[in-house]
């Protein structure tokens, strides 16, 4: 057994701990009756610019589905200067082939091909305490193309011919979460609007307004209860730009209305140091236009469970596998980075 170092000799320095890797690499997977099976990968770089700022993430995600759809996303979510400034950028491109059994509740099946190219930028400035104000800009070149002559006729009858649009908007934001990616306490209020104008891009003038509230409560041994209430309203929007049902278990774009409101509750249960589980349930309502307003046919319930593995303990970034079930045979199995909200 080795004794203490001889007098006059310094003790050997402890080996420095290896810094955690800033890189993320995660396979992604999803399956639902409308889009089939999707396989892909996400690569990201994680950095904290200073001690007071939130975690910044830069990444790319690409996917291919069994319906011969392809999508690619490049994104940046940044926080810097002691979290005084936040800048988000996202670029999306792809070809999406959908196979709907009951499109927009018409009782008619539809196969469509969507060509999507979009860009969005949002800047936030902290004005006082946890309150931010900001602005955003969006540009999209969106097309919906039927895969047969009959599908084209149905899309034209519904007015869903796609749109090119560009717009600007304002943002009001409150964020008191202790950690963006895995909050244990705090609340978020996000109001934003986009005014799409022909002078910027496209052939339609219309507006979209969104209001989203989330709150988180810590309880027990690392468990968290969260609630989310979301709203989206449109004014003079073409049908293809109507508000979608955003709950897990539903294909985005299959069910649309002039307006949408939803509420969802989620329990995040800590199982072990790096393992957790989720149970969630919620309901969305589509209303406005030719919808009667939250009647049974306009309500969309959702419920599910999931399991998570903590990839980056300091940042709270998880790998997340969840199963969600909706009505009328809607369901989804998802494996991705991060909690749903």
pLDDT tens digit sequence for 256-291: 999 999 999 999 999 999 999 999 999 999 999 888
Give the residue among 49, 95, 81, 38 at the shortest CA–CA distance from 333.
38
Count of structural domains within the chain: 1
Residue 61: its pLDDT value, please?
92
User: DSSP letters along 161-186, please?
Assistant: --EEEEEEEEEEEEE--S-SSS-SSE
* Average pLDDT score over residue span 29-53: 88
* Average pLDDT score over residue span 39-63: 94
Q: What is the domain range of residue 133?
A: 105-337
Percent of the chain whose predicted confidence (pLDDT) is above 90: 67
Domain of residue 303, CATH code: 2.40.160.50
Q: Are 275 and 306 in contact (CB under 8 A)?
A: no
- Window from 5-19, 28-42, 85-99, 311-325 with minimum mean pLDDT: 5-19
d(CA 341, CA 137): 22
Residue 330: its pLDDT value, please?
93
- With tokens 């989310």, the residue in question is 228
Q: Is 332 domain-assigned?
A: yes
34 pLDDT higher than 80:
no
Report the range out of 219-228, 234-243, 244-253 with the highest average pLDDT. Answer: 219-228
Q: Is 96 domain-assigned?
A: no
Residue 10: its pLDDT value, please?
55
* Average pLDDT score over residue span 36-48: 92
d(CA 93, CA 142): 10
User: Mean pLDDT for the chain?
Assistant: 88
13 pLDDT higher than 60:
no
* Average pLDDT score over residue span 17-34: 82
Does residue 184 or residue 101 have the better pLDDT?
Answer: 184
* Average pLDDT score over residue span 299-309: 98
Dihedral of alpha carbons 152, 154, 155, 157, sign: positive
Give residue 327's pLDDT band: very low, low, confident or very high (50, 70, 90).
very high
Q: Is 222 domain-assigned?
A: yes
Q: Is 137 domain-assigned?
A: yes
Q: Is 327 domain-assigned?
A: yes
Query: Helix, strand, or coil here: 67?
Result: coil
- Window from 200-204, 291-295, 300-304 with minimum mean pLDDT: 291-295
Tokens describing residue 33: 């009756």
pLDDT in tens, 93-137: 988 877 776 666 667 777 778 788 899 999 999 999 999 999 999
Q: Are 100 and 254 in contact (CB under 8 A)?
A: yes
Q: Is 328 domain-assigned?
A: yes
Report the range out of 14-23, 24-33, 212-221 with the highest average pLDDT. Answer: 212-221
234 pLDDT higher than 90:
yes
Q: Is 286 domain-assigned?
A: yes
d(CA 28, CA 25): 10
Residue 1: its pLDDT value, please?
47
248: which DSSP letter?
A: T
* Average pLDDT score over residue span 307-311: 96
Does residue 117 or residue 154 have the better pLDDT?
Answer: 117
The neighbour count for residue 17, using CB atoms within 10 Å, is 6
Give the residue among 75, 121, 138, 110 at the shortest CA–CA distance from 256.
110
4 pLDDT higher than 70:
no
Does residue 240 or residue 327 have the better pLDDT?
Answer: 327
* Terminal alpha carbon distance of the chain: 54
* Average pLDDT score over residue span 249-255: 86
Residue 109: its pLDDT value, please?
76
* Average pLDDT score over residue span 69-94: 94
Q: Is 40 domain-assigned?
A: no
* Average pLDDT score over residue span 305-324: 94
The neighbour count for residue 240, using CB atoms within 10 Å, is 20
């Amino acid at each position: 057994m080795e004794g203490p170092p001889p007098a006059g000799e310094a003790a050997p320095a402890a080996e420095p701990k290896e810094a955690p890797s800033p890189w993320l690499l995660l396979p992604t997977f999803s399956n639902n009756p409308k889009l089939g099976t999707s396989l892909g990968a996400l690569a990201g770089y994680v950095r904290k610019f200073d001690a007071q700022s939130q975690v910044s993430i830069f990444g790319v995600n690409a996917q291919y589905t069994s319906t011969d759809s392809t999508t690619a996303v490049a994104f940046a979510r940044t926080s810097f200067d002691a979290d005084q400034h936040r800048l988000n950028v996202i670029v999306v491109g792809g070809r999406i082939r959908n196979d709907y059994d009951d499109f927009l509740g018409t009782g008619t099946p539809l196969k469509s091909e969507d060509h999507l190219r979009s860009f969005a930028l949002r800047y936030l400035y902290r004005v006082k305490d946890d309150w931010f104000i900001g602005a955003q800009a969006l540009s999209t070149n969106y097309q919906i193309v039927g895969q047969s002559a009959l599908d084209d006729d149905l899309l034209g009858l519904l007015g869903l011919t796609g749109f090119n649009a560009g717009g600007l908007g304002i943002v009001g934001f409150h964020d008191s979460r202790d950690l963006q990616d895995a909050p244990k306490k705090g609340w978020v209020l996000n109001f934003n609007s986009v005014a799409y104008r022909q002078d910027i891009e496209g052939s339609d003038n219309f507006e979209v307004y969104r209001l989203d509230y989330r709150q988180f409560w810590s309880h027990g041994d690392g468990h968290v209860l969260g609630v989310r209430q979301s709203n989206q309203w449109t004014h003079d929007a073409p049908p293809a730009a109507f508000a979608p049902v955003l709950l897990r278990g539903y294909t985005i774009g299959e069910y649309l209305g002039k307006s949408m409101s939803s509420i969802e509750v989620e329990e995040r249960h800590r199982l072990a140091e790096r393992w957790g589980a989720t149970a969630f349930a919620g309901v969305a309502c589509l209303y406005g236009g030719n919808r009667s307003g939250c009647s049974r046919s306009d309500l969309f319930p959702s419920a599910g469970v999931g399991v998570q593995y903590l990839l980056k303990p300091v940042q709270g970034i998880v790998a997340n596998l969840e199963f969600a079930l909706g009505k009328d045979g809607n369901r989804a199995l998802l494996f991705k980075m991060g909690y749903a909200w």
